[in-house]
Structure 1
C-alpha cells in the first residue's frame, strides 16, 4: 500500500465525446427517417466533418473564454467625464464562435442552398450538433434566421408589390447581410418584444412609433454611408426590458402607432452614420463613423445561465426605423419569427440533452465501479447504470421525434409559400432536383401543413424544452460529483454549464404554460381550430394506419395509442377554451405524448429492429399507454447497451468494457 498524493495515485481518465453524428443513435435514426437517402448521401461528408469540428480543442478554448470574460459596458455605461456612452464589449471567444457559425452557414444554408423541402431538416440537424459547443451564439443566430425569413417574405412574397423602391433596397440590404457566410458582412438580429408590462403579453406595449419623415429639402440621414442606406421615416421611443443579442447589427421590434390599431412591427438598424463624430484621436467623420441609432443600453442583465450572451435593458429615444407590413398587424408579422425561434429553442433543448448523454456515455466507458467480491466493471457494464441511461435515451429519442417532425413541417410550409409567392430560387447546391419523394410516412398533404405547424409550433417547444431539463439533470448525476462542478478546465465535460444554459429553453419564446395555453387556443380557435383538429386527426390516423399495414407492431400498442388519442380529442372537442385553460399543461403534455407514441410506432415500423421496438415498448409503458407484462420485452444488460450505444457498438462494451 502507498498513500496517494497531489500527483500520484489514481487519476480518473477523462470521458471522450465522439462525433455525435456517428455516436448519437437518435441523430442517426432521425436523419434516416426524415431525409431521402440521395439527400443524406450528399450531405453526409459535410455533417461528419462538422461533427468533428464542433468538438475541437480550439472551439472549447473559445467557449471557456466566452464564459470567463463575459460581456460588459465599458465604464459602466459612461466615459471618464461622466457622459453616457453605451459601448458593449464582448470577448474574443464569443466573436470567434460567431464567426465559426457564420462560415459554417448554420443560418445561411436555409437561404443559399436548395435541398427542396429538406433545407430546414438539414439546417437543424447541423444546429443540433453545434448547440453544446456554441456558448449561446445560436441565440442571436435564431433571431437572425427569423428576421431573414420575415424580410424574405416581404421582398419576394405577395407583400413585395406594396414596397417602395427605397424600402425594397433597405430590406434587401438587410436580408443580404443576414444570409451571408462572410464574417465581415454577416448580421445577427434582435427581437425586441418584452417590456416591463409583461413577457409574452405584448398588448400593453409602451413603445411608441411616430411617422416623422425627413424634410425633402434636407439630406436624409444614413444608417450606413458606405452602402448608402437611409434611416427610416418612423421615430420609435420606449423601453425594452429584456433584449438578447444586444451586439446585433439590427432588430425587429414591436411598437404602437395608434391606440386603436394594436402593435406594429418595425425593422431598425442598431447603428447609424455619424458624420460629425470626432474620435478620441481627433479624426472627424469618415464613412466608418457611427453611433447607436437612438439606443441607450441601460444595463446588462445578470442571469443564472447563458452568461456569455449579452442581454440588456434598452431605452429608445428617436430610434429611426421602417414599418414592416401594415400598422396594427405586428403580431402577425412577428409570428413568422416566433415560429422559427421556437423551433431553434426546442432544437437547442434536445441539442443540450444529446450532448449531455454523449458525455454520460463517454464517462460510463472509462469509469469503473465495484460490484462486490473485489470485482470492478466499467459503468457501461453495470446493469443499474445502463438501465438508467437506456431509459434516458428512450425519452430523448421521443423528444427528438417530436421536434424534428415540427422541423419537417416548417420546411414544408416554407417551400409551399415560396412556390405560391414565386420567390427566386436559392443559389445552386448539390441536392437533387426535382426533390425526391419524402421518406417520412407522415408527410402531410399541403392543405394540412400550415394548420399542423400552427399547433406544433407551440406544442413541441412547450413539451420538449420542459422535459429536457430533468433528463439533462440525470446526465449530470451520471457523472457523480464531477457532474455538478463547473469543469472549465475540462470544458467538453462541463455539464453544469450546459444545464444552466438549457434552463432558459422553457422560458424564452413563451414559457411552458404560455405555450400550452396557446396550443389550446389553436385547437379551439373559432376559425382555424377546425383545420388544426383535422391535421392532428390526420397525423394520428395516418400513423396508426401505416403501422397496421406494415404489420410489424403489436396490435395492443396501436389500439392503446388510439384509445388515448380519442380521450384527448374528445376532451378538447367537448370542453370550451375557458374550461380547458386551467388544465392546459396536462392536456397538451398528454397530447404531446400521444403524438410521440405515434411517431415512435412509425419509426419502429419504417426501420425495424429489436432496439427501436424495445425503445418504443418502454416509452408506451412509461407513459401509461400499456401495462408492463411479466417477461415482455428484452430488458437485459445487452439490450440496454444496444439502446444507449447502438447495436453495432454495444458488443465492444460487453466484451471489453473499454472505450469504443
Structure 2
C-alpha cells in the first residue's frame, strides 16, 4: 500500500494561545484595571496569532541550529568567532520588536507593565528556542544599571538594553558561575585589579579569571562578579562589573565590528548540554579584560541580586510557558484523534479527559502563583509596594522559580503521553521543550539552593509573617457560600499555613528547608486560586464554578497533603535520621546508626 492510500491521520490545529488559554484571560481580568485591560487584551490577541504563525515560522525547519565556535583562522590566529543560526537571531529580534523587555522599562502601564510584558513572554516562550535566556539577563542588567549604574552607563546602555529596534539594541549576559563553587560564589577566583584609569563609564579594572558557565555568550555586554579583596573574605570581597565583550563597544554604525578577542575574552569551548542546544553557553577565560565597576566596592553579591531576582521570575515563566504549549498540543490532538474503531474522539473519552484535566489544574495553579510574584515585582519597581508586599516578594521569588521547575517537566511528559506514539516524535516539539525545561531545575539555583535562600529570608520572622498574614486574610475574605462548599480544602490549607509558621520558627531544623519550599509552593498557589475563585464568584464570572472546583481539587488532590506530611517528618526528624541518611548513601563512612 502506498502511504497516500488507506487511513490518514487528521493533523491537530493549535488555536490562538491567548484566546484559547484556560487561565490567562480570566487572570488578567482580575488583576488589571478595566481601563487598561481592553488595550492590553487586543495586543495579546494579535500577538497570540503571531506566535503560531510568523514567530513559529522563524524557528521552523533548519533555521534554528546549535551555535558553532571557530577558535582559529586559517593562519592559526586566535579568532574565537561564535556563529549563531539565522533563526536564533530572528527570534531574538522578533521578541525585541514586541517590546520584550522594553515594556518593563517604558512603564506605560505603571505597576502593571510587568504583568503585561510577562503575559507576552508566557505566550511566546514555547516557540522561543531559548532566546529568552539572554533577554532575561538583559532585563536584569537593565534593572541593575537603572538602580546602580553611573550616569554615563545609564545614558549609553539603558536605551540599548530596553530598545525595540534590534539593529540598535544590546543584549547582556550574566557571569557568576566558576569552577570552585557553582552557586557558591564565595570561592570566586576571578580577580579585578584597578587600572587607575577613569573614563566616562567610571573606574576601570582589569579582570583575570575563568567563567565556567556563560550563557548568552553572543551578547554585547555582561555583568560579572570578581574579587576585589582577599580570598579569606569570601563573598564579602566580591564586586560587580560591567564587561564590554568587544572594544570599542560604542562605535558608529559605519565602523566594522571589532574582533571577538578585542577585550581579551577567550572562549575555551561551547558547553555540550542535555538541552537548550541553540543557546550559546561557553567557558570563558578573562585575561586582562577591561571592565567597569557597578555600585560600591565589595558589594557585588548584593548589587547583582536584581539580576537574580528577575531571571528567577523569567525561569518560572519558562517552566509554565513550556507546559502551556505542551497542553495546547495535547488538547488540540484530543479534538481530532478518534479511538474505539474511530467512533469516539479522545475529547469524549472520560478517562482521557480526566488525565488532561489534572494537568490543566496544575497549569492554573502555577500560572496564578507565578503571576502573583510578577504583580508584586511590578509594584516594587514602581515604588508602590507596601513593606508587607516586599517581604512577601522576598519569599515568593525563590519559591515560584523552584516550584515551577519541580512541577512543570513531569506534567510536560504526561502531556506528551496523551498523544501516544505520536507524542514521542520530535516534530511535535515535546522533546525539545522537555529537554529545555530541565535546565530550569538548575539555572539560577537548584531547588535545594533556593530553599536555603528562603531559610535565610526566614531569619527575619517578619518575612514569613507577612506571607502568613496575607494568606489568612484571603481565606477570611472568601464568601460564606464558598467556605461551606470547601470546608475540607480550607481546613487542609489552614493546616499548611500552621505548619509553615511552626517549621520556620528559629532555629530552623536542618532537613526542613527543601520540603518547606515545596509546601510554601503548594499553599501559596492554592491561596492564589482561592483569591481568584472568590473574585470570580463575587463578579459573577461565567466560569465561577470551575474556578471554585479548581481550587478545591488542587488543594485536596494536588499534593498539598503529602507536602504537609513531608515537612512534618523533616521538622521532627532526629539526628539518627541524618546519620542513617549518610550511612545509606555512603555505606563505608564512619557515621554510626
The alignment's TM-score, normalised by the length of structure 1, stands at: 0.80
Following superposition, the deviation at residue 544 of structure 1 comes to 0.6
Q: Which residue of 2 aligns with 1:622?
A: 557
Q: RMSD in angstroms over aligned alpha carbons?
A: 2.1
Q: Is the 8 A contact 2:145 2:153 kept in 1?
A: no
Quick one: structure 1 residues 550 and 200, their matched pair in 2 at CA, closer, same or farther if it must change by over 3 Å?
farther
Distance change (3 Å), C-alpha of 1:274 and 1:138:
closer
- 1:263 maps to 238
Which residue matches 2:210? Answer: 239
Q: Cα 1:182–1:274, aligned 2, differ >3 Å: closer, same or farther? A: closer
Stretches of structure 2 that go unaligned for 5 or more consecutive residues are 538-543, 563-593
- Render the CA deviation track for 1:2-49: whole Å, top value 9, x for unaligned: xx4222222212211111111111112221222122211121111111
- Render the CA deviation track for 1:255-303: whole Å, top value 9, x for unaligned: 001114421100111110399xxxxxxxxxx843513311001111111
Partner of 1:339: 309
Aligned equivalent of 1:594: 523
CA contact (8 A) 1:232 1:268 kept: no
Deviation at 1:113, TM superposition (A): 3.3
**Contact kept? 2:362, 2:558, Cα under 8 Å:** no
Deviations 1:360-390 (A, max 9, x none): 01111111111xxx56211111111100000
The alpha-carbon distance between structure 1 residues 287 and 603, as it changes in their structure 2 partners (threshold 3 A), is same
Q: Identify which of 56, 72, 89 aligns with 1:78.
A: 72
Contact 2:55 2:91 in 1 (8 A): no
Question: Do residues 469 (structure 1) and 436 (structure 2) align?
Answer: no
Q: Alignment partner for residue 534 of structure 1, among 445, 465, 471?
A: 465
Higher relative contact order (CA 8 A, sep 6+): 1
Q: How does 1:460-499 map to 2 (within 5 A)?
A: 460-487=400-427, 493-499=428-434
Q: 1:308-360 CA deviation, whole Å, 9 max, x = no partner?
A: 11100000011111111111110111111111000000001000001110000
Alignment partner, residue 288 of structure 1: 256
Residues 1:613 and 2:535 aligned together: no
Rounded to whole Å, the distance in 2 between the matches of 1:274 and 1:538 is 49
User: Displacement, 1:116?
Assistant: 1.6
Distance 2:481 2:247 in 1: 61
Q: Deviation string for 1:154-207 (max 9, x for gaps)?
A: 25xxxxxxxxxxx42134211111011111111110100000112211000000
1:327 equivalent to 2:323? Answer: no
Provide the C-alpha distance between the structure 2 equivalents of 1:230 and 1:398, rounded to a whole number of angstroms: 45
Aligned to 1:211: 194
Distance 1:192 1:326 in 2: 18
Select which of 96, 107, 115 maps to 1:113: 107
Distance 1:232 1:80, change over 3 A: farther
1:152-231 alignment, distance < 5 Å: 152-155=146-149, 167-214=150-197
Q: 1:61 to 1:119 in 2, by over 3 A?
A: closer
Secondary structure of the 1:516 match is helix
TM-superposed deviation, 1:564? 2.2
CA contact (8 A) 1:20 1:27 kept: no
Which has the larger displacement, 391-400 or 532-541? Answer: 532-541
1-structure distance, mates of 2:26, 2:195: 55
Contact 2:16 2:49 in 1 (8 A): yes
Matches within 5 A, 1:368-447: 368-370=338-340, 374=341, 376-416=343-383, 446-447=386-387
Does the 8 A contact of 2:191 with 2:207 survive in 1? yes
Q: Distance in 2 between matches of 1:85 and 1:550?
A: 70
Aligned-pair distance for 1:66? 4.6
Shift in CA distance, 503/267, structure 1 to aligned 2, threshold 3 Å: same
Separation in structure 2 between the aligned mates of residue 289 and residue 471 of structure 1, nearest angstrom: 45
Name the structure 2 match of 1:631: none
1:507-526 correspondence runs (5 A): 507-523=442-458, 525=459
Runs of 4+ deviating beyond 2 Å: 4-7, 57-67, 229-232, 286-289, 548-560, 623-627
Gaps of 5+ in 1: 156-166, 221-228, 276-285, 420-444, 488-492, 628-660
3-state SS of 1:272 partner: coil
Kindly state the Cα deviation for residue 615 of structure 1 after the two structures are TM-superposed: 1.5
Q: Counterparts of 1:1-20 in structure 2 under 5 Å?
A: 4-20=1-17
The residue correspondences of 1:442-457 to structure 2 (distance < 5 A) are 446-457=386-397
Q: Return the alpha-carbon distance in structure 1 between the equivalents of residues 549 and 258 of structure 2.
A: 61
Distance in structure 2 (CA, Å) of the matches to 1:237 and 1:262: 15
The alpha-carbon deviation at position 457 of structure 1 amounts to 0.8
Among residues 21, 24, 27, which one is paired with 1:24 in the alignment?
A: 21
Q: How does 1:291-306 map to 2 (within 5 A)?
A: 291=259, 292=261, 293-306=263-276
Q: CA–CA distance in 2 between the matches of 1:567 and 1:310? A: 43
Could you say which residue in structure 1 is the equivalent of 2:512? 583
1:327 alignment partner, SS class = coil
Residue pairs, 1:4-153, within 5 angstroms = 4-57=1-54, 59-67=56-64, 69-74=65-70, 77-153=71-147
